[in-house]
């Protein structure tokens, strides 16, 4: 199994963490999708990473499809509950993490492709608002759970949300969410101490 991706992408990190937690061996294939001459379109017509290549050669893309595929193909250390309602909640929180990443990446790209007056403040504010509302939602959710995780045990929700929170620290330090939401910050720190997160920290 091969995983095409970059070491800084939070979507790719989610899959790397999942593979490590499930103890599934894989080959990491680095790809810079922004470089001219990238070969990512040979595997994913959308030109995005992560892209998982199964041993059969079949491509699987979009991180949420990859994470679901890995769960039903590889039953070791399950990261999705069997109860349908809890599963829906975990998958929703996984999507919340992805949506936070989408917003944080959109801010990054607005600054990458526009300068000065051309930068849309409305667009940026829209993205910051999504991130702030998601952080508040997570803080409330965390207060309703007795343990260390968003549900009873580690799940795809924690992996996705953990990657999103750590991506904010990495790329959007101006948000300064930690001081207003200390319980959420502690939660992120607990996740960051796991070997799977430790081993997938973005290079500085």
Ligand X SMILES: N[C@@H](CCC(=O)N[C@@H](CS)C(=O)NCC(=O)O)C(=O)O
Contact between 30 and ligand X per CB under 6 A: no
Report the site for ligand X in 112-131 (rule: CB under 6 A).
none
Q: Which stretch binds ligand X (CB under 6 A): 44-52, 168-176, 181-189, 192-200?
A: 44-52
Closest CA to 1 of 50, 56, 61, 69: 56
In whole angstroms, the minimum distance from the beta carbon of 33 to ligand X comes to 4
Contact between 98 and ligand X per CB under 6 A: yes
Binding residue for ligand X, selected from 59, 64, 69, 95, defined by CB under 6 A: 64
Closest CA to 5 of 91, 66, 87: 66
* Exposed/middle/buried for residue 17 (C-beta within 10 Å: 0-12, 13-18, 19+): buried
Strand order in the sheet with 27-30: 27-30, 2-5, 51-53, 59-61
Binding residue for ligand X, selected from 50, 81, 97, 162, defined by CB under 6 A: 50
List helix spans (H) across the chain: 10-21, 63-73, 84-113, 121-143, 156-171, 177-180, 182-192, 195-198
The span from the CA of 51 to the CA of 38, in Å, is: 13
Structure token pair of residue 30: 């680095």
Structure token pair of residue 174: 């101006």
Binding residue for ligand X, selected from 28, 29, 62, 87, defined by CB under 6 A: 62
Contact between 96 and ligand X per CB under 6 A: no
Contact between 196 and ligand X per CB under 6 A: no
Report the site for ligand X in 172-191 (rule: CB under 6 A).
none
Contact between 110 and ligand X per CB under 6 A: no
In whole angstroms, the minimum distance from the beta carbon of 109 to ligand X comes to 8
Cis omega (within 30 of 0) for bond into 50: yes
Binding residue for ligand X, selected from 3, 20, 33, 151, defined by CB under 6 A: 33
In whole angstroms, the minimum distance from the beta carbon of 171 to ligand X comes to 10
Binding site for ligand X (CB under 6 A): 9, 11, 33, 47-50, 62-64, 98, 105
């Amino acid at each position: 199994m091969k995983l095409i991706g970059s070491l800084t992408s939070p979507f790719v990190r989610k899959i790397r963490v999942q593979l490590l937690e499930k103890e599934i061996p894989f080959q990491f294939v680095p790809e810079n999708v922004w470089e001219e001459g990238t070969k990512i379109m040979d595997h994913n017509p959308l030109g995005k990473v992560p892209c998982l290549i199964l041993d059969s050669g079949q491509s699987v893309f979009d991180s949420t499809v990859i994470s679901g595929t890995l769960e039903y193909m590889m039953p070791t250390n399950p990261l999705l509950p069997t109860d349908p309602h809890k599963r829906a909640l975990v998958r929703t929180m996984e999507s919340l993490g992805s949506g936070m990443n989408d917003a944080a990446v959109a801010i990054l790209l607005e600054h990458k492709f526009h300068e000065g007056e051309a930068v849309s403040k409305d667009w940026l504010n829209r993205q910051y608002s999504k991130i702030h509302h998601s952080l508040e939602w997570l803080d409330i959710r965390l207060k309703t759970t007795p343990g260390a995780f968003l549900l009873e045990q580690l799940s795809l929700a924690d992996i996705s949300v953990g990657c999103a929170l750590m991506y904010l620290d990495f790329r959007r330090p101006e948000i300064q969410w930690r001081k207003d939401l200390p319980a959420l910050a502690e939660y992120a720190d607990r996740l960051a101490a796991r070997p799977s997160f430790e081993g997938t920290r973005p290079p500085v």
